[in-house]
Amino acid sequence: MVVDLELNAHARYFKFCLNMLPAEAVSQDASRMTVAHLCLVGLATLGRLNDTLSATQRASMVDWIYEQQIPRAGAYAGFRGGSLFGPHSSCTYAPANSANLAATYSALCSLLLLGDSLSRVDKRAITSAMRQLQLESGTFVPHPGTNERDPRFIYCACAISAILDDWSGVDKDAATRYIAECSNYDGGMTQARFQESHGGHLYCCVASLSLMGRLDALPDRQRTLKWALFRQSGGYHGRTNKVPDVCYSFWIGAAIEMLGGHDLVDTGAVAYFIRQCEADIGGLAKWPGYRPDPLHASLGIVGYSFCCPEKFPRMSPELLLPESVLEAHQARQTQT
């Protein structure tokens, strides 16, 4: 039997984190765009977003997000991670005043969750910039001048393209080849060739292929599904011989949803583990008895919704957004 979460406590926790980060999370302030995205996703999964945030608060958040948009004249158009170092127009610290793929993805998702039409998004500038971020190997870097390059940023580019309904910034063939090369002998997916299979990269690879309509490009789909299913030991863990961790309720759980393996999961055991990670103040921790944080709280609640979809708004495993939000967005695109 699937036990119930403390919905009211979790809604309060997400609202608190939107207003002020807990002491142990202040280091994430430079990535407040991602924190906002996670909190909004958590509230939306609980079905409490509009009840928790007033229309005035939602409008204020929309304005704040647009204030983080780097204009076309910038080194890379898109959204930056937050306003820690002041307004974009007066910020002189370049690393904090440049756009990146992860923040752009979170910004677009947050705008949709807040009911925005994306009318103020410079879509052409974003897709044009993405073309400069894709490497010859097929993967992406999050912004110019970094050595980070792996499936996380392929996913961000694919999610941005799907939301904007414009794939001109992604060479799908090159991205698909890179993902295929990340397929490991055990069926898992890696950060790069010959590295260890990892649940987070599994999600990014599977979701990217799904968004591109290329799930059939997985070298061995059934083996990949088997690897994901074998990550369950009560809850899900992300690597072989590791203990369960709440965030993989989404990373692994969503991958299984996309691969068609929902009926093979012991959903009661997953839900029980997630419930064990609840904190008295609301939110979910990485492990039972630890302090909660926005990432594990949000992803854990979405993972919980996969276990009992009849109790929660249906979430898109590819985009970490409610299906109803995506349907409304698609309807607006059709009208324009």
At residue 79, φ and ψ (nearest 5 deg) are -120, 145
CA 175 to centroid of chain Cα atoms: 19
pLDDT digits (tens, 9 = 90+) for 254-263: 999 999 999 9
As a whole-number percent, the residues of the chain with pLDDT over 70 amount to 98
CA angle at residue 175 from 72 to 198, to 5 degrees?
110
pLDDT digits (tens, 9 = 90+) for 105-138: 999 999 999 999 999 999 999 999 999 999 999 9
Radius of gyration of the chain (CA): 19
> What pLDDT shows up at residue 94?
75
| pLDDT of 200 above 80 | yes
pLDDT digits (tens, 9 = 90+) for 130-180: 999 999 999 999 998 888 999 999 999 999 999 999 999 999 999 999 999
C-alpha span between 103 and 142 (Å, rounded): 9
Q: Which two tokens stand for residue 285?
A: 């921790």
C-alpha span between 319 and 263 (Å, rounded): 21
The confidence band for 333, taking pLDDT boundaries of 50, 70 and 90, is confident
pLDDT digits (tens, 9 = 90+) for 3-31: 589 999 999 999 999 998 888 777 888 88
Nearest by Cα to 137 from 153, 161, 156, 123: 153
> What pLDDT shows up at residue 322?
97
- What count of Cα atoms within 13 Å lies in the side-chain half-sphere of residue 221? 14
Contact 315, 302 (CB under 8 A): yes
Contact 182, 210 (CB under 8 A): no
Nearest by Cα to 106 from 254, 326, 320, 251: 320
Beta bridge partner(s), residue 134 = 140
> What pLDDT shows up at residue 18?
95
| pLDDT of 85 above 60 | yes
C-alpha span between 5 and 12 (Å, rounded): 13
C-alpha span between 84 and 73 (Å, rounded): 21
- What count of Cα atoms within 13 Å lies in the side-chain half-sphere of residue 269? 13
The confidence band for 1, taking pLDDT boundaries of 50, 70 and 90, is very low
Tell the burial category of 330 from Cβ atoms under 10 Å away from its Cβ (0-12, 13-18, 19+).
exposed
Which residue shows structure tokens 């103020």?
120
C-alpha span between 13 and 22 (Å, rounded): 10
Q: Which carries the bigger pLDDT value, residue 334 or residue 202?
A: 202
